[in-house]
Structure 1
Amino acid sequence: MDSIIFDLDGTIWDPIDTVLNAWNSRIKEHSQIKRELTRIDFEGTMGLQMHDISKKLFPYLSEDVRVKVITECCETEQGYLKKQGGNLYHNVEEVLNVLSKQYKLYIVSNCQDGYIESFYEFHNLEKYFLDYENPGRTGLSKGENINLIIERNNLSNPIYVGDTEGDLNASRYAGIPFVYAKYGFGQVSDYDEVIEKFDELVKLF
């Protein structure tokens, strides 16, 4: 193994409380939306791309209104995350520091462009990662973005760490081992290794 590619939400951090505040502050401007979003609403969207998130959260809105709402919410969200960050899982920086001395580290997340940068900016963790990718920049699926990271960085034996069935499927698509972050947001049907908390990665590798 020469490298570790990480999912972000539910694997490295839990951003939901910050994101929830950002989105609810913005959807108040739209009279078609009758209620505030809840944490349960967001937990059910983890691992999805933005188009699918908008359909799940606002199925009663027309497509053009959904696009407008989701765009506004994502713009607001990035400002909130840059100022407030999210909840890092226990010992994240310590673990990344240890792992980065032996392995090349990367992030591939199903997020919009600018989201990973907001994570980096608030928590000052960019120094541990050599590259990152997301569908907001490429328009590609998570599996395709994993392959892009592998090809761009000439990786020979990477693994992927994530917490959802989508992460599992992306790993299988890319043909690399999958480590299931069981403490995250999702349930998976298969995995090659499993961790109950983030700092177990040090013992695993």
Structure 2
Amino acid sequence: MVSKAILFDLDGTLWDSSEAVSASWNEVTESLEHPFPVTTLDMKRTMGLTMDKIADILFSPYVRKEDIPLLQKKCEEAENVYLRSHPGILFQGVRETLSLLSKEYSLYIVSNCQKGYIEAFLAGTKLGSCFKGHLCYGDTLAPKGKTIEILLRREGIRKAVYVGDTSGDMEAAHFASLPFIHAAYGFGETKGEEAEIASFQELPSVLKNFF
């Protein structure tokens, strides 16, 4: 049994990969018969959604509906490869703070991403030793709240908090009956969180209120 666990969202919480992801997607979209751009702003405004929803939003103006799933798959594959050698930007203090927290807590990642994305994050940032495990939408094909519940059961976690940056993250945490800590430096705003951090370095002191 795991007595003290911290579950993290990824995009907007641990790193900002929007520039790297848009670059990898552009390698795919620029090779199409009718090329179109995917901007960093496009990625920032859709991160946190599941990949099928992101693809529908960004590709629908340019691609026939029936062609979107194949293009989405190609972009996912390109992204997972690209991020291993062109990782996103870790938010300030993430590396040092994760190393510190991993000595006292069991750390996990739960994300709405595709299979292979968390592995690319861990490989590109070399932070794999800090985490006990991870789970994503690509593994479960379930809403994030359900995915959190699956991880809690799988790992035998007795007490945990979820750290994320969007209202969707907060809803998922509360669905799984977990307190939510809002990463206010990230991509989204929330209302109803149990705690908030303005920087990642604040997390260790805030966690003392939950364990």
Give the count of matched residue pairs. 204
CA distance in 2, matches of 1:198, 1:131: 20
Cα shift at 1:32: 4.0
CA distance in 1, matches of 2:50, 2:191: 20
CA distance in 2, matches of 1:138, 1:42: 23
Q: Could you say which residue in structure 1 is the equivalent of 2:148? A: 146
Q: Could you say which residue in structure 2 is the equivalent of 1:77? A: 79
Match of residue 128, structure 1, among 127, 130, 148:
130
After TM superposition, the structure 1 = structure 2 runs for residues 1-205 of structure 1, keeping only pairs within 5 Å, are 2-33=4-35, 35-60=36-61, 61-205=63-207
**Cα deviation 1:82-129 (Å, max 9, x = unaligned):** 111110111212101111111111000010000000011111111111
Contact between 1:105 and 1:130, CA under 8 Å: does it hold in 2? yes
Cα shift at 1:161: 0.2
CA distance in 2, matches of 1:137, 1:157: 23
Cα shift at 1:190: 2.0
CA distance in 1, matches of 2:133, 2:174: 21
Structure 2 alignment gaps of length 5 or more: none
Structure 1 length-normalised TM: 0.95
3-state DSSP of counterpart to 1:199: helix
* Identity over aligned pairs, percent: 38
3-state DSSP of counterpart to 1:155: coil
**Cα deviation 1:133-152 (Å, max 9, x = unaligned):** 00111211111111011111
Residue identity opposite 1:45 in structure 2: T
Residue identity opposite 1:191 in structure 2: E
Distance 1:59 1:189, change over 3 A: farther
Residue identity opposite 2:92 in structure 1: H
CA distance in 2, matches of 1:201, 1:42: 26
Contact between 1:160 and 1:171, CA under 8 Å: does it hold in 2? yes
3-state DSSP of counterpart to 2:178: coil
Cα shift at 1:195: 0.5
Cα shift at 1:8: 0.4
**Cα deviation 1:55-102 (Å, max 9, x = unaligned):** 111223333211111111111111110111110111212101111111
CA distance in 2, matches of 1:124, 1:148: 26
3-state DSSP of counterpart to 2:57: helix
CA distance in 2, matches of 1:189, 1:200: 19
Residue identity opposite 1:54 in structure 2: A
Structure 1 alignment gaps of length 5 or more: none
Residue identity opposite 2:114 in structure 1: Q
